[in-house]
Amino acid sequence: MTPALPAETREPSLAIDLSGIVKHYRMGEEDIPALRGVDLEVPVGTFLAVRGPSGSGKSTLLNICGLIDAADRGRYLLAGENVAGLDEEARTMIRRRAIGFVFQSYNLVPVMSVRDNIEYPLLLLGQSVDERRARVDEILGQVGLSGMADRRPDQLSGGQRQRVAIARALVKSPTLVIADEPTANLDTTTASQVIDLMRALGHRHNATFLIATHDDRMTAHCDAVHSITDGVLQ
């Protein structure tokens, strides 16, 4: 079910507009604050890095922005749509059409071919066979894997797998791509290639990238870099 979202648009040019985001986790009896009133505005098409030590809250921030977790308090406008307080079903439908994910460990489905992995988000969107084929062929060309459509993930190198993951994230032309340490498992050369590819495709698809990273090579390519410490965004 596609939720009917109010057109609460304060700044249409913002992909992400967070205000006063608070998130706590309970560990037994203890209440641990993960985000303490985060405010963040990210214009559409921005390549934004969030860096911070382990446990600083950057993954929590990405999870909330990616709608795989919900804030306890605060306002979240995704491309002008108020997505705070939505139920799981509504968040799922937004993720389905508007958010792509790139994971540190690629998270490709091992029994699916490269083509099937990239096609999966389009299947969820109910696109026709011809639409899916055209979109997958196009993005395979953009990530330089045209000849590898029928290979399985275990027949690819780490860099090639991350290219497949990037293609899978971008194939539906999402508003937002959440990338969690996308170069952490890659060697220097491959990491540079992946960063360049993400930037190029981000511009081409007008997608906003929100990247959690420790990698200075990555931050050097970003439009903006924010640091987060103890749940407070700098």
Partner 1 sequence: MNVQFAALRLAWRNILRNRRRSLVTILIATVGCLSILVASGFALYTYDMVRESSAGEFGHITVAGKDYFTRDEETPLQYGISDHRELTAALLKEASVKRILPRVSLSGLVSNGDKSVIFLGIGADVPGEAEVRGDILKLEAGSLTGKPGDPPAVLLGVDLAKSLNAKPGTGLTLLATTTSGGINAVDVMVAGIVSTGWREVDKRLVYTDVGTAQHLLVSDRVSTLSVYLDSTDATPAALERLAMADPAHAYQPWWVQAFFYHSVRGLYDRVFGLLGLIIGMLVFFSVVNTLAMAVVERTREIGTMRAMGAMPGEIVAQFLREGALIGAVGALLGTLLAAGIVLASPHTGLQMPPPPGRSVGYPLLVIATLPLYLITNTGIISLCAAAAWFASRKAAKKPIVEALAHV
Contact window for partner 1 (CB under 8 A) among 5-13, 41-49, 60-68, 136-144: 60-68
User: Dmax of the chain from CA atoms?
Assistant: 54
32 counts as binding partner 1 under rule CB under 8 A:
no
Q: Name the burial class of residue 152, with classes exposed (0-12), middle (13-18) and buried (19+) by CB atoms within 10 angstroms of its CB.
A: middle
Contact window for partner 1 (CB under 8 A) among 50-58, 122-130, 208-216, 225-233: 122-130
> CB of 96 within 8 A of CB of 124?
yes
User: Measured from the CB of residue 10, what is the shortest distance to partner 1 in angstroms?
Assistant: 26
Handedness of CA 121, 145, 164, 115 (dihedral sign): positive
User: Measured from the CB of residue 188, what is the shortest distance to partner 1 in angstroms?
Assistant: 26
Among 19, 92, 185, 193, indicate the residue that binds partner 1 (CB under 8 A). Answer: 92
89 counts as binding partner 1 under rule CB under 8 A:
yes
Token pair of 174 as six digits: 């999402």
Tell me the C-alpha distance between 138 and 147, whole Å.
12
Residue with tokens 């950057």: 58
120 counts as binding partner 1 under rule CB under 8 A:
yes
User: Measured from the CB of residue 72, what is the shortest distance to partner 1 in angstroms?
Assistant: 14
Tell me the C-alpha distance between 48 and 40, whole Å.
11
185 counts as binding partner 1 under rule CB under 8 A:
no
Mark out the alpha helices in the chain (DSSP H runs): 58-65, 88-98, 114-124, 129-142, 158-170, 188-205, 216-220
63 counts as binding partner 1 under rule CB under 8 A:
yes
Among 97, 151, 214, 221, indicate the residue that binds partner 1 (CB under 8 A). Answer: 97
Among 69, 81, 137, 223, indicate the residue that binds partner 1 (CB under 8 A). Answer: 69
User: Measured from the CB of residue 228, what is the shortest distance to partner 1 in angstroms?
Assistant: 17
112 counts as binding partner 1 under rule CB under 8 A:
yes
**Geometric angle at alpha carbon 153, from 166 and 193, rounded to 5°:** 40
126 counts as binding partner 1 under rule CB under 8 A:
yes
Binding site for partner 1 (CB under 8 A): 63, 66, 68-69, 89, 92-93, 95-97, 99-101, 103, 107, 109-112, 116, 119-121, 123-126, 129, 168
